[in-house]
Structure 1
Amino acid sequence: MKTVQVAVGVIRRADEVFICLRPDHQHQGGKWEFPGGKIDAGETVVAALKRELQEEVGIAVKRCKPLIDITHDYGDKRVALLVREVIDFDGEPHGVEGQQHKWCSIHQLNAADFPAANVAILDALTTSE
């Protein structure tokens, strides 16, 4: 089974992070997630992250740092999440594609509301504080 590489951005402002709701028709639809998307062939993680966050949430990433890398097998799909904490950006994140979104305190994040692959991100966030 092929592994899909995904650049994921944890957009952070103090103790809050920006999350988006996956559309119902998508894999893991109806769950909250950190924005990002597939890494194209020949593209670096940071280049993919900058492109995806501009397209999805309308921000220009200025600085980011590695948070965690995760590989997760859903059975029907395997993903490698290359997660970067976005620590400096221009613009105010919003749902460019009409998706629901919100700022949420790290301490209010509930693992049950996220795809299984994202649980390790939540753990990394709570231990990095």
Structure 2
Amino acid sequence: MKVAVGIILRDNSVFVALRNSKQDQGGLWEFPGGKCEASESVETALVRELKEECGISITGCDFFKTISHDYGDKLVELFFYKVTGFDGEPVGKEGQEVRWVAFSDLMSYGFPEANKQIVVELMTHY
């Protein structure tokens, strides 16, 4: 399963969302994004997902890293993009709790296993 993920950056902080308790990995924080549709490119999925989930339109982003992770019941391939420009103010359009978090505070949030390497790299580089 291919997943497009946006690391939305602003003022030395990153935008995160709390996964619904009924979802897989529920109750953990994540960088917004979602599954790529069958014929959809990762970049197209990223634009669509961030519009649907957060209400923003991307104006600038750069590929950051791909991480493959086996959760046992499924293998996911996560394509992370640093989103450095966007129109609108990100919100939780699906009712999810969201917040801007300083890089130095990221370790105090619980993230899915596949996101932990990204958290460490963000804390190291920012």
SS in 1 for 2:34: strand
List per-residue Cα deviations over 1:40-98 (Å, max 9, x = no partner): 12211111100000000000011100111100011112111000000100000000011
Match of residue 120 from structure 2: 123
Unmatched tracts of structure 2, length 5 or more: none
SS in 1 for 2:121: helix
Q: Is contact 2:29-2:109 (8 Å) kept?
A: no
Counterparts of residues 27-38 of structure 1 (less than 5 Å):
27-38=24-35
Q: Is contact 2:106-2:123 (8 Å) kept?
A: no
Match of residue 111 from structure 2: 114
Of 4, 29, 48, the residue aligned with 1:51 is 48
Unmatched tracts of structure 1, length 5 or more: none
State the distance in 2 between where 1:63 and 1:47 align: 13
**TM-score, scaled to structure 2:** 0.95
Percent of aligned positions that are identical: 49
SS in 1 for 2:52: helix
State the distance in 2 between where 1:37 and 1:19 align: 14
Compared with structure 1, are the counterparts of its residues 111 and 39 closer, same or farther at alpha carbon in structure 2 (3 Å cutoff)? farther
How many residue pairs get aligned? The number is 126
Match of residue 18 from structure 1: 15
Q: Which amino acid in 2 is paired with 1:69?
A: T
Q: Which runs of 4+ in 1 moved over 4 A?
A: none
